[in-house]
Structure 1
């Protein structure tokens, strides 16, 4: 029997527009967020509006880092939020892909670069160039963060394999009904991984692109 994503809420919308309300409803504090696939920082303003004191942005495409840092400056730095606890830096840009272990891998850059992936895209997507990039596990950079956001274009399971889920409370993970990359994960395979670790889906937001959904996952309550 396939592991199917059971959601309490599914709407066609940008997930970040609903994040403040979701955090409040689930009583998850806006402590810190790790974003895998931060791209040009399009969600930095939303994270700032939520009140996250610490942002760890992972992005392997060097072409995007200048815009990403500018978004952090314009929104997060300018907001004047309190400093993170335990001496953690408020803003960190990790110029690397997220994966199970440290190393290097090939980033496949597509014409529409938000579909670029560490995996080979399936047709009709094409690769315009390939770049060797460093790979760093999320577990090495997630200190001070309780929320994970993943946009890894098919490599979600590799990202999760390198993440310490026990230190997180909420995860928002993009997935697709069918694989769009060679060896890529799907909504079902992501659900199998998360439910095996005791997490449960609490909301989802369908993209305008058919078959692509962001799913919010809540961690199991810690043992008392």
Structure 2
């Protein structure tokens, strides 16, 4: 007769975490390869290589930072959430956004640009470099997300939708249904906060592949936001206000 000691639950959680890590590694490789190939197929009539301060470079750098935190939140939810639908959603977000990080860092490497922003966030979203939605000179604050692929990441607390250090600590500590709700709330706000950047990139980037990826992000995240809103309603919870 076997005595239940909780090791089965721990084993399943470890398996989910291991699968998430394997998916993340595969997505990095695929995404970087896609970013490389996209540039190999640029023709002579395509725009010149994007330069620092351009929409293309700024979008790739800032969205990499924004995506990095989403990947971290999704990995936590895969390990700690109770609802299988929430864990599945988190896995989809993790693999999709890590793939996109791979594409963006692939482009930045080929453009000889830093993989992460070195100046104010979102300054590329207006012609005069003052940023978007009244966020003039959005400086880097305290880091609130784990860097991806060993990169040193500047803080991103001032970008719309980003979770604070306190938010991330609460998510790491949450378990079961509480983890379900907090993940959905934080990720929904995260998606909505990044939407203006994605829409601006889709409209104003010079490189067609950058515009296409930005539009894909808009479409995918809008669908995910609708699903997260539905799940929150089913759980008797409400979305968080935008920060």
For normalisation by structure 1, the TM-score amounts to: 0.27
Query: Of Structure 1 and Structure 2, which has the larger fraction of its residues in strand?
Result: 1
Higher Cα radius of gyration: 2
For normalisation by structure 2, the TM-score amounts to: 0.25
